[in-house]
Structure 1
Amino acid sequence: MHPPVTGVQHQLENARVRVAVGTVAAVLRSLEVDGVQLVEDFADDVLPPFGAGITLFPWPNRVRDGKWSFGGKTQQLDITEPSKGNASHGLLRNTEYAVLDADASSIELGATAYPQHGWPFTLRHCVRYRATQHGLEVTHTVTNLGAKDAVFAVGAHPYFRLGDEPIGDLVVTSDLTERVLLDDRLLPIGTEPVVAGGEFDLTSGRELRELDLNYAFKVRPNGEKTLVTLSSRSGARLELWGDDDFRYVQLYTPSDFPRPEGHHGGTGLAFAAEPMTAPPDALNSGTDLIGIEPGEVWTSSWGVTFTR
């Protein structure tokens, strides 16, 4: 039997919560509370479909043409999204993270983004997954191992569900304040406020079947920790939360997400809510990029809670 393409699998438990993590891309494979699966799962012999569950470092989303500038010097990243000509989702999505620490309910994984094409820094990225009483806490720690100042952003790519509840029936709620406008390459061309009562107003909740989303949004004008909630008619409720540095979410509702046989079969609607510290193409715009000095350590968390 071949090992999973997502690397060594690790199981975490805390009473009613079970979590599975793979070492490649520090991927979140499974999250169950009271036996209810809260993320999209996938077979061991396939890459995470549509990036499901992977960690995004040292930038989330896309960089236009893979080009950006730092210190007056043009940087050229490898193009990893050939269909759109972009560098996408960072440098570590195919890298195996080492296990740094683990116990029954938590694991810390670490990898380093070394200098390479278009990336002049040496940044250590650690991800700690911890099964909590009501869900999951994910803590990112970044250390500048290099000799010069650096910049970065962090994101994650979970797809959420509420067990076997029909995805289209689920209600998504979020206090979105600003939408990033995109061109046909999914690159930013501006921003606009989310207007009360408008197409992208989710403050009162909207069923997922009504939405066609693949946009980044700025959230939480009042500093609240909640980014997005997902709820069902039966009263189940998932809350995606983040610390202050996680100011953005990418909301994505693909209609052709591939699922393993036995779980709704074939392809269908899915829902990604991706916590991010910066918007798309932030290496060029500089918007909410995090600066880090040599030897400095940065840390921030996001997570999931579930009630019913």
Structure 2
Amino acid sequence: MNTSQLPATAPAPSGTQYRLSAGTHRATITEVGAMVREYSVDGRDVFVPFDEHEPAPVFNAAVLVPWPNRLRDGRYTTDDGETHQLPLSEPDRATALHGLGCWYRWSAVEVADHAVTLELALPAQKGWPFQLTTRVRYALDAEQGLEVRVTTRNVGTGTAPYGVGFHPWLSAGGADLDDCTVRLDATEHVTVDDRLLPTGVEPVAGDHDLRTTRSLAGLDLDDAWVGATRDERGLSWCRLGCPDGRTAAVWADTSMDCWQVCSADHITGHERLGLAAEPMSCYADAFNTGDRLVRLSPGEEHEVRWGATLL
């Protein structure tokens, strides 16, 4: 075997780094997972960053395709009656978590100072007999902040079940999460069992009514919401208000009606590191419930748009 052309050292676990800038906005996008490794404004983190020499510790701003959140027992049945079994990536809860795209290397399609477009050709594999191509474009604007567009096309021959989500952790700017506030534009809360799999939907109430600004002190969240409400531009928001007077915020357009919000109280080693504000096209176990599930026919495309900024 001729090893003369093999690299002498391994690349960084997060792969090539694409560094973007516009005004005082800075972002770094990774080759592995097409993740936002860091995003800051005026030197202040909007997202909780991670080091390029480590794998993303908590799905940091990952693209969650072809499904977000949890899939019960990693098993689902397609419209043709075939049952498929995926590896259980969350063994403690016996679920397949956050899709398949997080640990692939995405190819650069277009690179500019303020924007980058990456693409993943997701191959058929164990438990996933479909072929999808996903393209994500990250762009910074000096006034508006970060905008993300994701388009997925079914390049295979069968109709594929599909959902997409994103996993940014909003940064408290060095403060304790207990000293921050949260606000979420959503009217219905998803109830879950002890595996965090959905059991129903209820009107927001009590600790799950985040339609007005409330303190995060003592609030333990790892929940989904639907029924997104929107501003005059058609955007639904999740906001983390911080003691420094700034608000780290994520928005989603009408292509996504679901949110997952997590305060990381039970993530060992990362407790309350920030607030996950996850826009999603569907919530957990959509492959089985069918709720808000997209069925991509051969040649069909699906597009979503979201973004973030520091207010």
TM-score, structure 1 as length reference:
0.91
Q: Does the Cα contact within 8 Å between 1:257 and 1:269 map onto a contact in 2?
A: no
**Residue 291 of structure 1: which of 295, 298, 301 is its match?**
295
Q: In the aligned structure 2, how far is the partner of 1:29 from the partner of 1:167? A: 20
Q: How many percent of aligned residue pairs carry the same amino acid?
A: 34
The answer for the alignment partner of 1:5 in structure 2 is 13
| 2:117 aligned residue (100, 103, 108) | 108
Structure-1 residue corresponding to 2:133 = 124
Q: 1:229 to 1:102 in 2, by over 3 A?
A: same
Cα distance, 1:257 vs structure 2: 6.0
Task: Report the counterpart of residue 187 of structure 1 in structure 2.
Answer: 197
One of 155, 158, 168 as aligned partner of 1:148: 158
Change (3 A) 1:40 1:114: same
- The number of residue pairs the alignment matches comes to 299
- Kindly state the Cα deviation for residue 145 of structure 1 after the two structures are TM-superposed: 0.5
**1:6 and 1:24 in contact (8 A); partners too:** yes
CA drift at 1:55: 1.3
Query: Structure 1's 123 and 170: CA in aligned 2 closer, same or farther, altered over 3 A?
Result: same
Letter in 2 for 1:231: G
1:226 aligns with 2:236: yes
Maintained 8 Å contact 2:264/2:271? no
Q: Distance in 1 between matches of 2:251 and 2:298?
A: 30
Residue 98 of structure 1 corresponds to which residue in structure 2? 107
Give structure 1 stretches of 5+ with no counterpart.
260-265
In 2: Cα distance, 1:150 partner to 1:216 partner: 24
Residue pair 2:149, 2:304 contacting (<8 A) in 1 also: yes
State the distance in 2 between where 1:104 and 1:258 align.
37
Which residue type is aligned with residue 299 of structure 1? E
> Which position in structure 2 is the counterpart of 1:56?
64
Q: How does 1:156-305 map to 2 (within 5 A)?
A: 156-195=166-205, 198-221=206-229, 224-255=234-265, 268-305=272-309
What are the Cα deviations for residues 180-217 of structure 1, in whole angstroms up to 9, with x where unaligned?
2111212112222213xx22111221122231001111
Moved more, 56-65 or 200-209: 200-209
Deviates more, 1:87-96 or 1:42-51: 42-51
**SS of alignment partner, residue 51 of structure 1:** coil
Q: Give the Å deviation of 1:41.
A: 1.4
**Does the Cα contact within 8 Å between 2:14 and 2:52 map onto a contact in 1?**
yes
Closer, same or farther: CA 281–67 of 1 in aligned 2, 3 Å: same
Match of 2:5 in 1: none
Question: Is the contact made by 1:17 and 1:32 (CA closer than 8 Å) also made in structure 2?
Answer: yes
Q: Once the 2 structures are TM-superposed, how far is the Cα of residue 237 of structure 1 from its aligned partner? A: 2.2
Are the counterparts in 2 of residues 173 and 203 from structure 1 also a CA contact under 8 Å? yes
- Cα distance in structure 2, aligned partners of 1:206 and 1:297: 38
**Is the CA contact 1:49–1:257 (under 8 Å) kept in the aligned structure 2?**
no
Kept after mapping to 1: 8 A contact 2:65/2:163? yes
- Code of the residue aligned with 1:204 in structure 2: it is T
The CA RMSD over aligned residues, in Å, is 2.0
TM-score, length of structure 2 as denominator length: 0.90
Partners of 1:282 and 1:234 in 2: CA distance: 39
Relative to structure 1, the CA distance from residue 169 to residue 106 in structure 2 (aligned partners, 3 Å threshold; closer, same or farther) is same
Corresponding residue for 1:262? Answer: none
Unaligned stretches of 5+ in structure 2? 1-8
Q: In the TM superposition, what whole-angstrom CA distance separates every residue of 1:208-240 from its partner, at most 9, and x where no partner exists?
A: 223100111114245741231122344312331
1:69 is aligned to 77
State the distance in 2 between where 1:3 and 1:148 align. 36
Which secondary structure does the structure 2 equivalent of 1:168 belong to?
Answer: helix
**What secondary structure sits across from 1:83 in the alignment?**
helix
After TM superposition, the structure 1 stretch with the greater mean CA deviation from structure 2, 165-174 or 117-126, is 165-174
Structure 2 distance, partners of 1:167, 1:187, is 26
Q: CA deviation at 1:293?
A: 2.2
Deviations 1:19-59 (A, max 9, x none): 00111111110011111111111223322122222211000
